A and B are shown apart, each in its own frame.
Chain A
Amino acid sequence: MNNPNNIVEMVGITKSFPGVVALEDVDFSLRKGEIHALVGENGAGKSTLIKILTGVEQPDRGTIALDGKFVHVRSPQHSQELGISTVYQEVNLCTNISVAENIMLGREPHRFGSIHWKKMNEMAQHAIDRLNIDVDVTKPLGNYSIAIQQMVAIARALEVLSAKVLILDEPTSSLDIQETNLLFDVMRRLKSEGIGIIFITHFLDQVYQIADRITVLRNGKLVGSYEASALPRFELVAKMLGRSLVELDAMAKEKSQEEGGENKQPLVEAKALGLTGTLKPVDLQINASEVLGIAGLLGSGRTEMVSLIYGVTTPDTGSLVVDGKEVTKFSPLESLKRGVALCPEDRKAEGVVGDLTVRENIILALQARYGWFKFISPQKQNEIANKYIQMLGIVTPSPEQLVKNLSGGNQQKVILARWLATNPKVLILDEPTRGIDVGAKTEIQKLVIQLAEEGKSCMFISSELDEVMRVSDRIAVLRDRSKVAEYANDVDEKTLIQAMAGEV
C-alpha cells in the first residue's frame, strides 16, 4: 500500500473467459474524495473490471485492497457490505412506492411492530438533503425524472449501505444537460465528503468536466492512469482507439472527391409527404450511392419522418416514390419487399431479440421477407450469418451466441447485419451509434460510407452533428416537425446548428 489515500487498490488483475482474455494485469486505484473516469472502447475491459470490484466475477489473479486491507469480494451483496455501491443507467428501484421507501426499505425504522412512517420519511429526507436536491420523499418515485431517480438510488447507496465507493455506470446516457449538471453537483458534493467515485461514460466532454483522473483501458490492458488536467483530449481519444482519426477523415475526403461527376438518380422521392399533427409536408430525395444525413433536435420530427417513409404510419398528404414506383400500401412488410430497411433508434425495445442467437437475429428479417413458411436451410442460415459476422466484424465466439451477451456496439452490428441480409436498396439508420463507444462508432460510420459506395442509399440520423457531417453527402435539417433546410456536406457546423435552432 504505497498510498494511504487510496480507498481502492487493485493490483495485477487478470481475468479470462473461455477464448478471451478480458483483463490482463490491470492496476487501478481510487483515492478518497476523487472522481475517477474509466474510459475505453467496448470490450476494453471496463465492465469486467467493475464486475470484479463488485464481486460479480472473481479474478484469476491479482489483489484488491479496500482502505489498505486485502479483501476477497465474494458477491455483489458482499461488496455492498464492504461499502461499494453501483448506480446504473437503468435505475434499479421501484417506481410505484414512495421515494422514502425506495431509500429506506430493508433498513426501515419500526415502532410497535409496524413501520414508523414518520421517522422513515424524516430519515429519507435527511438522506436527500445531503445531496441538496428538492424532492418530496412521500411521493411515488415514478413522479420524478430519471435523473432524480438516479439520485434517489445514490441516496439509497449512501444511506442504507453507507457506501464509501460509488460506481456510476453510464449514469448520464439518458439525461439532458440540466439533469446532467444536477448529477454533477451531487457528485462534487459527495467528493468533498471524501467519497471515491468511479465514473464510467462515453461522453468525453463530461469526463473533462468532472473527472480528476482518467484511467484508459484498451483490449483488456491498462493504457494508463492520468491526471485529467495533464491529458489533452486529442491524446485521450488516440489512447482509447490506439489509432488516430486521420484515417477516417482521409476516407471521407476521398469519398467526396470521387462523387463529383456521378450521375445521380433518386431511389426515394417524397413529395409533400406529411401526416397532420405529426409531420408537416416534406420534400425529400435520396439518390443511389448516397448518404443523406438528417440533423435535428429531439422532437424535431426525425423519427416521425422515418416512420412515414418506412410505412409504420400512413401519410395523409403527398406521395412517396420508391425505386420508380409510387407507394400505395404503407406497412413495414411492404417496405421490406420494396427494399427499404429501418434500423430503429431503441435497439433494446425495437431491434434485437436478446434471447435469440446471433444467427437467428440476422436471419429474422430475411425470413419475414421470404414469408414464414418458406424454409431457409440451416446450412444457408449459417452461411449468411458467418458472412455478415465477418463483413461487419461482429465480435462473438460463435453465431450461436445469444445476442444479449454481446456488447452494445456488437448488438448494433447484428441489427445492421439483419437488414443487410435482406439486401435492401435503401437503409434507414436511426441513431445507429447511440450508447456505443468511440471505436465502434467509427466502425459503424465507416460501414455506412462503404455501403453507399456499393450503391445503396442510406439515411443517417444522429444527434451527434460531427458524425452526421462526417458521414453524409447531403444533410437535411428538421425543426418543429418540418424540413427547414438542406445542405451539401461542406456546410460548417455553425450553420447547421443555427438551422436546427431556428436562427437563420
Chain B
Amino acid sequence: MIERIKTFVARYGALLLTLVIFLSVYFAGGQLYPAMRKPQVFFNLFINDSSLLLVSIGMTMVILSGGGGIDLSVGGMIALVSTASAALLRAGVSPFIVLPLMIVMGVALGALMGWIIQSLKVQPFIATLMGLFFTRGMAYIISLTSVTITNDVYRTFALTPIHIPFISKAYIYPTTLVGPIMLIVAIYLSFFTRFGRTIYAMGNNEQSAMLMGLPVARTKILVYAFSGLCSALAGIVFSMSLLAGYGQFATGMELDAIASVVIGGTSLSGGVGNVIGTLFGVLIHGTIVSILQFNGTLSSWWTRIGVGVLTLIAIGIQSIFSVKTKRS
C-alpha cells in the first residue's frame, strides 16, 4: 500500500501539486471577491488565455525534448501571424487562404529553427531568440501601426458566443476551443505515439535515445515545427479575438509560457512533465489575472510577481519531492 502511494506520488505528485495550487488560488479569489464564484469567470480563463494555452502546449513539448530545448519565438510568431493576416485580409485575400497560409508559415519557421538547432548545433536559446527577433521585426516591417480586421468570417468567429449547456449565462467563443483541441492532440502525441515517447526518451538522454535507434534528429525538428504550429494557431486566435494585428502583440508571452510550463511540473532539463500540468499552469496564470481585475486597483504587474512567487513555490516543492523519491 505504502509502495503504491509512493509510486503514485512519484508519478503524479507534480501534477497534483499544480492542481492544488490552482484550486487554492481560485478559491482564495472566490473568497475575496464573491463575483468570482460565477461559472463564467472559469470559462473566461479559457477565453482570455487561449493564446497562452496554445503556445504553452508547444513550449511544453519543446522543453520535454531536452538538450536545453526552449522556444523564445512564440510571442514574436503571434505578432507576425496577426499582422500578416490582418494585412492580407485588408488587401482582400480570402480568409480561407490566409488561415492555412499562416499555419504553413508557423510550421515552416518552427521547422527551420529546429533544423538550425539540429543540423548546425546552435543552442535552442540562441536559435529561437533569433526567431523572436525575426518574427517581431517582420511584423513591424509589414506595419508599424495596428491593423484592424473587418473581415466577416473573422468577426463571426470572434463575436459568436457558444452557450455552455446546463450552465446558465455561461459561454465561450469558437476560438476558445482551439486550445483544448490542441491539448488533446498533444496528449495523444505524448502518450500514444512513437513521436511522443521519443521526445521523452531524448529529453532524458539524447545519446541513449540515439543508440536505441530512435529518430532523434527528425523528432527534434518536428517538435519545433509543432511549437511553430501552436504559435501560429495562437496568433490566429489572438488576431480573431482582438480583430487586429500588431507587432506589439504578446510581448513577453514566451516568458509567461515558460513559467506556466514550469509551474505545471515540467522540468527544464527535459524528459519530465506533461501537457496536462501545463494546462493548470496556464489556468493559474489566468486566475491571478482575474483576481487583479476584480480588485481593480492593483497594477497589472502584480500578475508577474504573483506568477513568479508561485513558480518558485512550485519548483521548490517539486525539488523536495524529487530529492525524496530519489532517496527512497
A125, chain B: closest CB distance, angstroms: 17
Q: Please, which residues of chain B bring their CB within 8 A of the CB of A94?
A: 200-202, 204-205, 208-209, 212, 271
Cβ-defined contact, A96 with B212, below 8 A: no
> Is there a chain A Cβ closer than 8 Å to B207's Cβ?
yes
> Is there a chain A Cβ closer than 8 Å to B323's Cβ?
no
Closest to A95 in B: B204
Contact A115/B192 with A77-B213, A93-B212 known, Cβ cut-off 8 Å? yes
Most-contacted residue by chain B among A91, A94, A96 (CB, 10 A): A94
> Is there a chain B Cβ closer than 8 Å to A390's Cβ?
no
Q: Restricting to A51-92, which residues have a CB under 8 Å from any CB of B?
A: 77, 80, 91-92
Q: Please, which residues of chain B bring their CB within 8 A of the CB of A95?
A: 204-205
Most-contacted residue by chain A among B198, B201, B209 (CB, 10 A): B201
CB < 8 Å: which of A80, A93, A105 contacts B197? A105
Q: Please, which residues of chain B bring their CB within 8 A of the CB of A80?
A: 213
Cβ-defined contact, B198 with A105, below 8 A: yes
Q: Restricting to B166-213, which residues have a CB under 8 Å from any CB of A?
A: 188, 191-194, 197-198, 200-205, 207-209, 211-213
Q: How many positions in chain B have a CB within 8 Å of any CB in the partner chain? A: 23
Cβ-defined contact, A106 with B208, below 8 A: no
A127, chain B: closest CB distance, angstroms: 14
Q: Please, which residues of chain B bring their CB within 8 A of the CB of A101?
A: 197, 201
> Is there a chain A Cβ closer than 8 Å to B25's Cβ?
no
B203, chain A: closest CB distance, angstroms: 7
Distance, CA A26 to CA B148, complexed state (A): 78
Cβ-defined contact, B7 with A105, below 8 A: no
Distance, CA A108 to CA B201, complexed state (A): 14
Cβ-defined contact, A92 with B192, below 8 A: no
> Is there a chain B Cβ closer than 8 Å to A302's Cβ?
no
Closest to A88 in B: B211
Q: Restricting to A91-122, which residues have a CB under 8 Å from any CB of B?
A: 91-97, 101-102, 105-106, 108, 114-115, 117
Q: Restricting to A259-317, which residues have a CB under 8 Å from any CB of B?
A: none
Contact A92/B272 with A114-B193, A139-B7 known, Cβ cut-off 8 Å? no
> Is there a chain B Cβ closer than 8 Å to A36's Cβ?
no
> Is there a chain B Cβ closer than 8 Å to A15's Cβ?
no
B268, chain A: closest CB distance, angstroms: 14
Q: Please, which residues of chain B bring their CB within 8 A of the CB of A77?
A: 213
> Is there a chain A Cβ closer than 8 Å to B214's Cβ?
yes
Cβ-defined contact, A108 with B213, below 8 A: no
Cβ-defined contact, A97 with B213, below 8 A: no
> Is there a chain B Cβ closer than 8 Å to A156's Cβ?
yes
A80, chain B: closest CB distance, angstroms: 7
B159, chain A: closest CB distance, angstroms: 37
Closest to B194 in A: A108
Closest to A160 in B: B213
Q: Please, which residues of chain A bring their CB within 8 A of the CB of B272?
A: 96
Contact A105/B201 with A96-B271, A115-B194, A156-B212 known, Cβ cut-off 8 Å? yes
Q: How many positions in chain A have a CB within 8 Å of any CB in the partner chain? A: 20
Cβ-defined contact, A114 with B188, below 8 A: yes
CB < 8 Å: which of A91, A115, A160 contacts B193? A115
Q: Restricting to A132-174, which residues have a CB under 8 Å from any CB of B?
A: 139, 156, 160
Closest to A107 in B: B213
Q: Please, which residues of chain A bring their CB within 8 A of the CB of B192?
A: 114-115, 117
Closest to B205 in A: A94
Cβ-defined contact, B204 with A97, below 8 A: yes
Distance, CA A114 to CA B200, complexed state (A): 16
Cβ-defined contact, B204 with A96, below 8 A: yes
Q: Please, which residues of chain B bring their CB within 8 A of the CB of A114?
A: 188, 192-193
Contact A105/B212 with A92-B207, A95-B205, A115-B194 known, Cβ cut-off 8 Å? yes
Most-contacted residue by chain A among B193, B197, B198, B214 (CB, 10 A): B197
Distance, CA A192 to CA B271, complexed state (A): 38
B13, chain A: closest CB distance, angstroms: 13
Cβ-defined contact, B200 with A97, below 8 A: yes
Q: Please, which residues of chain B bring their CB within 8 A of the CB of A102?
A: 212
Distance, CA A156 to CA B207, complexed state (A): 16
A291, chain B: closest CB distance, angstroms: 37
The proximity string for B residues 266-288 relative to A, scoring 1 for CB distances below 8 Å and 0 otherwise, is 00000110000000000000000
B238, chain A: closest CB distance, angstroms: 31
Q: Restricting to B188-245, which residues have a CB under 8 Å from any CB of A?
A: 188, 191-194, 197-198, 200-205, 207-209, 211-214
Cβ-defined contact, B194 with A105, below 8 A: yes
Distance, CA A98 to CA B197, complexed state (A): 10
Distance, CA A368 to CA B203, complexed state (A): 36
Q: Please, which residues of chain A bring their CB within 8 A of the CB of B271?
A: 94, 96
CB < 8 Å: which of B188, B191, B198, B212 contacts A92? B212
Q: Please, which residues of chain A bring their CB within 8 A of the CB of B194?
A: 105-106, 108, 115
Distance, CA A156 to CA B188, complexed state (A): 25
Cβ-defined contact, B213 with A115, below 8 A: no
Q: Please, which residues of chain A bring their CB within 8 A of the CB of B209?
A: 94
Distance, CA A139 to CA B209, complexed state (A): 18
Cβ-defined contact, A96 with B188, below 8 A: no
Distance, CA A7 to CA B7, complexed state (A): 44
B275, chain A: closest CB distance, angstroms: 16
Q: Please, which residues of chain A bring their CB within 8 A of the CB of B202?
A: 94
Cβ-defined contact, B208 with A97, below 8 A: no
Q: Please, which residues of chain A bring their CB within 8 A of the CB of B198?
A: 105
Distance, CA A160 to CA B193, complexed state (A): 18
Q: Please, which residues of chain B bring their CB within 8 A of the CB of A108?
A: 194, 197
Cβ-defined contact, A106 with B213, below 8 A: yes
Distance, CA A97 to CA B204, complexed state (A): 8
Closest to B7 in A: A139
Q: Please, which residues of chain A bring their CB within 8 A of the CB of B197?
A: 97, 101, 105, 108, 115
B15, chain A: closest CB distance, angstroms: 15
Cβ-defined contact, A96 with B203, below 8 A: yes
Distance, CA A97 to CA B213, complexed state (A): 16
10 closest A-B pairs by beta carbon, nearest first, are A114-B192, A94-B204, A96-B204, A94-B201, A96-B271, A92-B211, A92-B208, A106-B213, A115-B192, A94-B205
- 19 new A-B contacts at CB < 8 Å, known A105-B194, A115-B192, A115-B194: A91-B208, A92-B208, A92-B212, A93-B212, A94-B200, A94-B204, A94-B208, A94-B209, A95-B204, A96-B203, A96-B271, A97-B200, A105-B201, A108-B194, A114-B193, A115-B193, A117-B192, A139-B7, A160-B213
5 CB contacts below 8 A, A to B, read A94-B204, A105-B214, A106-B212, A114-B192, A115-B194
Which residues of A does B touch, CB under 8 Å? 77, 80, 91-97, 101-102, 105-106, 108, 114-115, 117, 139, 156, 160
Which residues of B does A touch, CB under 8 Å? 7, 188, 191-194, 197-198, 200-205, 207-209, 211-214, 271-272
